[in-house]
Chain A
């Protein structure tokens, strides 16, 4: 009887909530696809138990195939990023040009940060922070070009819409 009573206590029935909802994203580097298609939302969670359930049912990062990784974001941040990104893809369709040689995986991360920054009204405010984050020397320019300009271009260079 005592055991039955214990099983009915709310502690056991209710999962332990977290302060925020988190989303886990999986990135697979497949060169045949564009970056958008390579990033997949796995799921989101907002309790201790749901975190562990997810953790217990995914490959540890160390066992992922090469070129793959996980990202964990607070849902509100990721939603904002995803919005930005869709905006970029289907709205203005910006191409981000990093004028330096960078490995592709860094490019992918750079895209995230840059696109996030591009949402802001004053992208130049992010110039320093952005480059520090990406360990890009301050003197190297990051240009934002509109895809429509690139398609329509007559010469070999496309004018940057703005530069940070």
Chain B
């Protein structure tokens, strides 16, 4: 297996569906990105959770 990991930074950056879905609610994923434009119609202050 040549999967990317912090110890194998040149590995393939492929992730399975389960893993990706699980990452939706990691603390980094729930932190609002910095430097977003002011678009009140679009940008939310707080993360929403919704089923995929």
Contacts and interface: CB of A to CB of B under 8 A. Distances in A.
Contact of B24 (A14, A52, A58): A52
Contact of A53 (B7, B29, B37): B29
A64 B20 contact: no
Contacts of B13: 16-19
A58 B44 contact: yes
B3 to A, nearest CB: 11
The prevalent SS among residues of B at the interface is loop
Interface stretch (A40-48, A105-113, A128-136): A40-48
Contact of B33 (A10, A14, A17, A54): A54
Nearest to A50: B33
Given A42-B39, A48-B23, A65-B41, A56 B30 contact: yes
A10 B44 contact: no
A51 to B, nearest CB: 8
Nearest to B29: A52
Nearest to B14: A19
Give the size range of A's interface with the partner.
Answer: 20 to 34
B38 to A, nearest CB: 10
A64 B47 contact: no
A18 B26 CA distance: 16
Nearest to A14: B6
A17 B4 contact: yes
Contacts of A64: 41-42
Interface of B: 4-7, 13, 15, 20, 23-26, 28-33, 35-37, 39, 41-50
Given A16-B23, A58-B44, 4 more contacts: A18-B13, A49-B28, A55-B24, A55-B29
